[in-house]
Amino acid sequence: MTQRVIFHVDANSAFLSWTAAYRKKVLGEVVDLRDIPSVVAGDKESRHSIILAKSMPAKKYGIQTGEPLFQALEKCPQLTVVPPDYGLYVEASRHFVQMLRQFSPVVEQYSIDEAWVDMTGTERIFGSARLAAETMRKRIYEELGFTVNIGISSNKLLAKIAGDFEKPNKVHTLFPEEMEAKMWPLPVRDLFLVGAATQGKLNKMGIYTIGDLAAADLPLIRKKLGKHGETIWHFANGRSADAVAATPATNKGYGNSTTTAKDVTTSQQAYQVLLSLCETVAARMRKDGKCGGCISIHLRTAEFKSFSHQRVLHNTTNNTEQIFRAACGLFDETWDLQTPLRQLGVQMTRLSDEPYQQYDLFSSVSPVQYERKLRLDEAVDSLRDRYGEDIIRRAKFAKDPQGHMAGGLDKARRTGVTKPVPEEF
C-alpha cells in the first residue's frame, strides 16, 4: 500500500513578507522590510494595536507576535511599523494557494497563510517527497517573492509539527519512525492544541515533554483533562487519521467580536457595539443562506476577566433586528451595570438552512411584519454588495464614530475588497 505523503506549507511571517514582497516587486522600493527591524501592527493610538508579524531583525530585539505595539517600541525605538493591509493579504493568499494546486489538486487551506497538500502518488511527476518540497519552496520564493516552511509526513498532524521546526525557508520531515528523536524531546507546549492552561495542568502531573505525554497513562490523562486530554495524548503518539479536505468544512456558527477604543461603561454604549456586531454576523449568515437558533454573547472586562451567556431561541433567524434584541436581552441579564468592558462579542449557533418563526396571540411581531424585515435586510445586503457597506447605515450610527459594522474582521476581509496585484506576485 502506498504511504500517504502530506505537506504542511506555512508562509514565514506572512503579513510582513507579503507586504515586503509587494513593495519590492510592485512598488519598486529599495529597502526590504525583512532586512530591517520592522513589524506589521495597527494604529499606535489604538488600545488593541498588537504585533501581527515581525521581521527576523525585529525578533532579535525580543519582539514577539501578539505583544502590544508600545512594548515593542520600548524594545526597539527605531522599529519600522507598517499598517496591516488585509486586501493585499487576501490576494497574496489566493496566489499562494493557486501555486500549491499546481503540485496537487488536493489542497486544504487551514488559514490565510498555511495549507496542507496531499502529495501522495506524485513521485513520478516531482520525484521524492523532499525533492518535491524543495521544488515547491524555491518556486514560491522565485515567483511569489516570499519564503515558506514545509513539513512532510504521512499525516496532517505530524506534517504541521514538522513545519514548525527551524525557520525560515526550511523543509523538514517527521515520519512516525522519526518521532522519538525529533518530536518527543520537545516541550509539551509545542504540541498542536496544547495551550498555556493545558501546559500548566500537564506540568503539575510531571509531564514536561511531548514524549512524557506520549508515555503517560491514558486513563489518568482522560480523568484529569477529559476528552481534550485523550485527543492530545493521541497527538503525542502521532495519531491523526484526518484526510486532506479540498472542500472547506461547513460553518458550525457565525460570530464576531471587537475590542472597543474606550471602556464601555453604560448600557447604551454596549447596545451600540452589539448592534454593529449583529450587522456583520447577520449579513454573513444571510450571504451563506443560514439561520441560527442559539445566540451567545461574550464580554471581557477592563481587567481581562471574560464571561459569556447564551440562550436557545424559539425560532431560527438571520434577521439583524431579532438577533440584536436577543443580544441586548442577554447583555442585560449578564452585565452588573458597573464593571467597565473592553471587548464584546456575539455568536449564533444551531444553524439551519431555513428560517423558522413561532407566533402566538401575544407575539409582538406578526408574520407580515417579520416577512417585511427579511425583505428589508435583503435590500440592504444588495445595496452594500453593489456599492460598499458604507452606502447605507442605521440612523443610530449617523454621528457616531464607532464603525457601524464592527468585528474582528477587517473591512477588506469582510467585503472581499482587495487591491490589484500582478499575477507574478
Whether the Cβ atoms of residue 207 and residue 199 lie closer than 8 Å to each other: no
Angle at which helices 218-236 and 196-204 cross, to 10°: 130
Distance (Å, whole) CA 389 – CA 251 = 23
Active site residue 45: no
Write down the catalytic residue from 114, 166, 378, 424: 114
Please tell me what DSSP assigns to residue 423.
T
Residue type (1 letter), 117? V
Cα-flanking dihedrals φ and ψ of residue 378, to 5°? Answer: -65, -40
**Contact by Cβ (8 Å): 201, 224:** yes
Burial 113-124 (b: 16+ CB within 10 A, else e): bbbbbbbbeeee
Instruction: For the beta carbon of residue 33, count every other beta carbon within 10 angstroms.
Output: 25
According to DSSP, residue 84 is labeled -
DSSP structure string for 17-77: HHHHHHHHHTS--SS-GGGSSEEEE--TT-TT-BEEEE-HHHHTTT--TTSBHHHHHHH-T
- Sign of CA pseudo-dihedral 81, 85, 43, 339: negative
Nearest residue to 352 (alpha-carbon basis) of 312, 325, 321: 312
- Cite the active site residues: 114
